[in-house]
Amino acid sequence: MILIELLQALLLLAGVGFFLVGTLGILRFPDVYTRVHALTKADNLGLGLIVFGLLLGAESVPVALKLLLVWGLALIASATAGYLVARAARRRGVRPWTARNWENS
């Protein structure tokens, strides 16, 4: 029992860690495209870890499935949103930042 709680705590804290990293990435990364990377990957992993952490303490099967449903929906949502924003930026002609040209921050 104590083992499960320990694992749960570990997963929750790791999830929050990835949320923090995602936000930090949004702040530090140089252009829209790289920020989309930070957003979709780090945040979805963070949410996933939190979901799995809560899953260990779920009281019934529908509750556990609902948690997974929320995660799946969030995954699809943020992958779609990231793609749409990147495509809009590309269409608008936002040039991707490269390690060589610093002027286009």
Partner 1 sequence: MTEQRHAVDRSSRVGTYILRLIILLVIWWILSGSHSDWWFGLPLAMAAAAASVWLTPPARFLLRPHQIPQFTGFFLWQSLLAGWDVARRTLSPSLPLQPEILRLPMALPPGAPTWWLMLTISLLPGTLSVRLDPDRVLEVHCLDARLDVTGSVRETEARLARLFGVPLQPTEAGARQ
Partner 2 sequence: MNWLLETVALLLLVTLVLGLIRIWRGPTIADRMLAAQLFGTTGVGLLLVLAELQQIAALRDVALVLALLAVMAVLAFVARVWRKGPEGETEEDPPA
Q: Are 97 and 30 in contact (CB under 8 A)?
A: yes
CA angle 29, 35, 37 (to 5 degrees): 115
Q: Is residue 36 within the footprint of partner 2 (CB under 8 A)? A: yes
CA angle 67, 55, 44 (to 5 degrees): 60
CA distance 10 to 74: 22
CA distance 99 to 46: 28
Chain positions 10 to 39 lying near partner 1, rule: CB under 8 A, are 17-18, 21-22, 24-25, 28-31, 33-34, 36-38
| CB of 9 vs partner 1, minimal distance in Å | 19
Q: Is residue 52 within the footprint of partner 2 (CB under 8 A)? A: no
Q: Is residue 51 within the footprint of partner 2 (CB under 8 A)? A: yes
Binding site for partner 2 (CB under 8 A): 5, 8-9, 12-13, 15-16, 19-20, 22-24, 26-27, 32, 35-36, 39, 43-44, 46-47, 50-51, 54, 57, 63, 66-67, 69-70, 73-74, 76-85, 87-89, 91-94, 105
